[in-house]
């Protein structure tokens, strides 16, 4: 069976990759708090360890998924967190740095990390276990960095930074952009419907005498997720709680994100954002996380009637970021940004996709930033300025 045939038969019907749900009213804080509480209960309740093959789509996986998973699996770890003698969390993660003195693992964060007595045990792919410590975490991105003091090199993940730009040029065939990656490239152009694979690690025996890699294939999608973090993307992979924090990989085994649990799909933080977060922490000892005060998506995800009006007035604007929501009282609202504005420049830089916008905000926190938008109601681009706020602590 070819890759295209496999996707159509097993993955395509399970999740409409090009579907973008209508914007729902923002969750009130107490409602989102209930969602997070349920999420935490699903992670922390015993027994936790249920393998991915609980879901039929993860059984009898194809050779393409196996090859990619085996390439990435040496860097995938299983993590256990304890408060005293009590296990508070079990999840997966992956190694991004390894030197002669320490190793760094990225995984998902948990509210249990806020306690001072949290202990960490890291189980690596060859069966060894090490004591770790929480180096940094962020509950908005739901990301954490775990450090192992170790004088031995461990296998690290190959990162594939995402390029999520797609042209709306009517003469362009979108399928030509799919899978634009050579096996050793560091970037990956992704479009809805591309094959992605969530990986996790699973301890089989109560005395840890063996553990297994798990794989859950799915499709990249522009569907919304339940989490409040605007930077999250979505895939149709079905994982269980012990796979949270594991890597999402592309068909070449490159890590493109960190997996989070989101009901019937898998939300993930793109590796671009995770890497920026970690690099800022290493440089400054903390992170000043930007807050745009608006919800955005790629221009290609907008309804076709909006795209038609944009092309009619601005035929040269074929990529960009469209505003889906402006938060009341935010700097974005004060700057005059409106629903359905298309951002084409930010901080003097041409913006072609969501990840470019998110990445460009990190070095401008607290500063006045100039941006250019286009509107279907205006015949010329609109020049605006806004103060890029720093996100409040969760």
Give pLDDT tens digits for 248-259. 999 999 999 999
Q: What is the pLDDT of residue 183?
A: 40
Task: Collapse the DSSP code of 287 into the 3-class scheme (helix H, G, I; strand E, B; otherwise coil) and give the result.
Answer: coil
What is the average pLDDT across 141-149?
95
Q: Which helix (H) or strand (E) holds 132?
A: strand 129-138
Q: Using 50, 70 and 90 to split pLDDT, how confident is the model at 7?
A: low
For the chain, percent of residues with pLDDT exceeding 90: 60
Of 58, 113, 94, the C-alpha closest to 258 is 94
Task: Collapse the DSSP code of 140 into the 3-class scheme (helix H, G, I; strand E, B; otherwise coil) and give the result.
Answer: coil
Say how many C-beta atoms besides its own lie within 10 A of residue 175's C-beta. 9
pLDDT tens-digit profile of 73-100? Answer: 999 999 999 988 888 889 999 999 999 9
Q: What is the pLDDT of residue 203?
A: 78
DSSP 8-class letter at 393 = P
The alpha carbon of residue 94 and the mean position of all alpha carbons in its chain are separated, in whole angstroms, by 14
pLDDT tens-digit profile of 15-34? Answer: 566 566 665 554 444 444 44
Answer yes or no: are the C-beta atoms of 154 and 98 closer than 8 Å: yes
Residue in the structure block whose two tokens are 């290493």: 282
Q: What is the pLDDT of residue 178?
A: 47
Q: Which tokens hold the place of 350?
A: 């041409």
Q: What is the pLDDT of residue 49?
A: 57
- Give dist(CA 227, CA 224) in Å, integer: 9
Using a 10 angstrom Cβ sphere, with 0-12 exposed, 13-18 middle and 19 or more buried, the burial of residue 29 is: exposed
Q: What are the two backbone dihedrals, phi and then psi, of residue 221, each rounded to the nearest 5 degrees?
A: -140, 155
Q: Reply yes or no on whether the pLDDT at 39 is more than 50.
A: no
Q: What is the pLDDT of residue 202?
A: 85
Of 370, 358, 374, the C-alpha closest to 316 is 374
Q: What is the pLDDT of residue 26?
A: 46
* CA distances for 119 relative to 22, 86, 91, 134, angstroms: 42, 10, 14, 8
Mean pLDDT of the chain: 84
């Amino acid at each position: 069976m070819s890759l295209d045939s496999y996707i159509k038969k097993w993955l395509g019907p399970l999740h409409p990759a090009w579907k973008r749900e209508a914007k729902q009213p923002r969750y009130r804080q107490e409602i989102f708090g209930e969602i997070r509480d349920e999420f935490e209960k699903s992670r922390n309740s015993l027994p936790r360890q249920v393998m991915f093959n609980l879901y039929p789509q993860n059984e009898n996986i194809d050779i393409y998924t196996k090859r990619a998973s085996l390439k990435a699996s040496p860097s995938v770890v299983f993590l256990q967190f304890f408060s005293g003698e009590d296990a508070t969390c079990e999840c997966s993660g992956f190694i991004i740095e390894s030197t002669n003195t320490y190793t760094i693992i990225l995984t998902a964060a948990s509210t249990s990390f806020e306690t001072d007595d949290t202990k960490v045990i890291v189980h690596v792919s060859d069966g060894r276990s090490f004591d770790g410590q929480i180096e940094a975490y962020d509950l908005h991105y739901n990301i954490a960095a775990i450090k192992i003091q170790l004088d031995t090199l461990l296998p690290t993940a190959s990162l594939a930074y995402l390029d999520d730009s797609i042209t709306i040029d009517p003469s362009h065939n979108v399928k030509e952009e799919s899978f634009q990656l050579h096996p050793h490239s560091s970037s990956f152009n992704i479009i809805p419907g591309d094959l992605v694979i969530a990986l996790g690690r699973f301890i089989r025996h109560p005395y840890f005498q063996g553990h297994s890699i798990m794989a859950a294939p799915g499709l990249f999608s522009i569907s919304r997720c339940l989490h409040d973090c605007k930077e999250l993307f979505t895939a149709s992979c079905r994982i269980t709680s012990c796979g949270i924090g594991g890597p999402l990989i592309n068909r070449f085994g490159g890590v493109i994100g960190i997996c989070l649990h989101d009901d019937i799909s898998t939300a993930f933080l793109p590796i671009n954002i995770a890497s920026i977060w970690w690099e800022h922490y290493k440089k400054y000892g903390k992170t000043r996380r930007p807050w745009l005060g608006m919800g955005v998506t790629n221009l290609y995800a907008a309804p076709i009637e909006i795209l038609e009006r944009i092309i009619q007035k601005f035929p040269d604007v074929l990529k960009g970021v469209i505003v889906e929501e402006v938060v009341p009282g935010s700097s974005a609202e004060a700057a005059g940004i409106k629903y359905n504005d298309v951002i084409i420049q930010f901080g003097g830089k041409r913006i072609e996709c969501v990840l470019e916008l998110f990445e460009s905000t990190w070095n401008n926190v607290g500063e006045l930033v100039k941006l250019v938008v286009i509107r279907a109601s205006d015949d010329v681009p609109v020049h605006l300025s806004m103060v890029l706020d720093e996100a409040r602590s969760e």
